[in-house]
Amino acid sequence: MREALNNKFNGISHKWIKFELDDEVFKKIKTKLKESLEEGLYSEKDLRKILKHFKRKDFCWVKYLSCRGTSFIICKCQVIDEKNNKVDFELLGHEVLYAQMLDGTPKGLKLFKVNKKDLGADIDWDKPDDGITDDLKPPIEEEMTQLGYELYKMTILEKEGKLQEYIDSFY
């Protein structure tokens, strides 16, 4: 397997691979990112931002660094965000071997750029302290755009009978 990995990355200086978001490997990567948040190695805002970039593109990208082992190959990889924050983790050799190659670097492919069609995605937004609370998991800011949150908030206010009061506050 080591030889197959070497052949896969032969002549490639920046070894970037990608995984679909419904892949089990992405769940491992997401878990490792959350662990690094808990350990204080990664900020919550940066974590939300990189996860939103992944969600917007429908795949995640990681950098393959090296492998070790003879019969049981373990590959060292990194998630690197647009600020160059790095989170190291390990994947199994076969996971890396069967991963799709990224045709360049994330910055070179402009994966961190937000297109006009993506502006509704609101990569950077924080939920305002407006009294609307619930126990959604994952948090609202991870799952909703800012526009989606406003619609959600209006629905909650309508159920509470406070929608007209909210609308009148704009005038």
For range 85-102, the mean pLDDT:
94
Residue 117 has pLDDT above 60, yes or no: no
Q: Which percentage of the chain shows pLDDT scores above 70?
A: 82
pLDDT at 155 over 70: yes
CA distances (Å), origin 169, targets 79, 162, 163, 166: 44, 11, 10, 5
pLDDT mean over 148-163: 77
Can you tell me whether residue 50 is helix, strand or coil?
Answer: helix
Across residues 46-67, what is the average pLDDT?
91
Residue 155 CA to residue 149 CA, distance in Å, equals 10
Contact of 163 with 150, CB cutoff 8 Å: no
How is the chain split into domains, by residue range?
Answer: 2-113, 125-168
Query: What is the pLDDT averaged over residues 118-141?
Result: 65
51 vs 9: CA distance, rounded Å: 26
Query: Which has more confidence, 1 or 166?
Result: 1
Global confidence as pTM: 0.67
Strand partners, 63: 16, 78
Q: Are 100 and 17 in contact (CB under 8 A)?
A: yes
Separation CA 171–CA 167 (nearest Å)? 8
Which of 117 and 60 is assigned the larger pLDDT? 60
Euclidean distance between CA atoms 33 and 27, whole angstroms = 10
Q: Is the pLDDT of residue 96 over 80?
A: yes
Q: How confident is the model at residue 116 (pLDDT cuts 50, 70, 90)?
A: low
Task: Read off φ and ψ for residue 163, nearest 5 degrees.
Answer: -65, -45
Mean pLDDT of the chain: 84
**Tens of pLDDT, residues 8-55:** 999 888 999 999 999 999 999 999 999 998 999 888 888 888 988 898
137 versus 119: which is more confidently predicted? 137
Residue-level pLDDT at 170: 64
Q: Please calculate the CA angle 88-91-96 and round it to the nearest 5 degrees.
A: 115
Buried b (16+ CB within 10 A) or exposed e, 40-78: eebeeebbbbbbbbbeebebbbbbbeebeeeeebebebe
